Homo-oligomer: A and B are copies of this chain.
Amino acid sequence: MSLSELQHFVHAELLDGGGWNVDEIVTALRDIREQSLEGRQRLSNPPKLPSRKALQEIVEGLTAALFPNRLVSPDLAKGGVDYFVGHTLDVALRKLLLQLQRELLFSSKVETNLPAVRDRAAEIAVNFAQELPAIRVLLESDIEAAYQGDPAAQSVDEVLVCYPGIVANIHYRLAHVLFSQGARLIARMISEIAHSVTGIDIHPGASIGESFFIDHGTGVVIGETAIIGNRVRLYQAVTLGAKRFPTDENGNLIKGNARHPIVEDDVVVYAGATILGRVTIGRGSVIGGNVWLTRSVPPCSNISQAQVRHELFDGGAGI
């Protein structure tokens, strides 16, 4: 390659496109899209899905309204707090109303009765709004439980700003009300926002009592039909899961049946424990770390793992 060829080459490279054939890829992707499962399932003009970004803003707004001065906007004057709360609520609820309309339009899938969708969305939003004070009371009990339960916690405010378990609870308690009102997709999306941020995966269908505390939390999974009493405490990597998935005569999964544990009041489950199936952990029990449990235990049980061997080492778990 001569000098002038090189110059030409470098110049061209700087100015040219990349060499890929956009038309070809666009065409291939369109073909795949049209033949895909989602393509076949849907109407020709698909309704819009709820927006994850909008839901993030909604949860941030609601959190700020529930805990003004603490979590989001620490520069409010005392006389301005109610104006902040009212305005923030109003904006968040209006955004939620739009997302609810999207979910209802999306999930109806048949010829839609638009006014009915709007009525239903408004009804859900109003019901949800009315639950906000009750949610705040439950979160208050969760924060106090964390403060009482962790020797490292120095103040209630530290719990509120530092503990991922509280972040997960805020998302769960908001999502649970929406799930109960039928906004299942939005509820799941809110749960996944918390999952991504905290590593804690609580299905919004689960039922959880007051004063609930998850410490550290990474890897916790709580299934859709789990029922958790009051004053329960979980540590990181605890699973409250399903044991098996029954199928109908056609081999399809049966949906919605009760398949996750019932954890009664005042139970503690230590890190890494796995509890599977519709079993009941009796009130006041303590489940030890890394325990694998697929049967019910009576109240006040203490369950712990078998002892480890102390022997010549033959393998690691590195990667």
Contacts and interface: CB of A to CB of B under 8 A. Distances in A.
A164 B195 contact: yes
A57 to B, nearest CB: 13
Nearest to A26: B86
Interface residues of A, number: 176
Contacts of A191: 162
Contact of A75 (B48, B75, B305): B48
Oligomer: number of copies: 6
Given A201-B218, A302-B313, A239 B90 contact: no
A133 B28 contact: yes
Contact of A49 (B84, B157, B307): B157
A11 B235 CA distance: 41
Interface centre among A136, A152, A240, A317 (most CB of B within 10 A): A317
A25 B41 CA distance: 32
B22 A48 contact: no
A239 B199 contact: no
Nearest to A21: B79
Nearest to A83: B86
Contacts of A199: 199, 218-219
Contacts of A302: 311-314
Interface centre among A78, A89, A151, A294 (most CB of B within 10 A): A151
Nearest to A239: B271
Contacts of A164: 192, 195-196
A158 B94 CA distance: 23
B304 A306 contact: no
Contact of A114 (B7, B79, B203, B244): B7
Interface in A1-59: 1-3, 6-23, 25-26, 28-30, 32-33, 36-38, 41, 44-52
Instruction: Give 9 nearest A-B pairs by CB, closest first.
Output: A17-B77, A302-B313, A289-B317, A83-B86, A80-B90, A270-B317, A271-B317, A28-B133, A20-B129
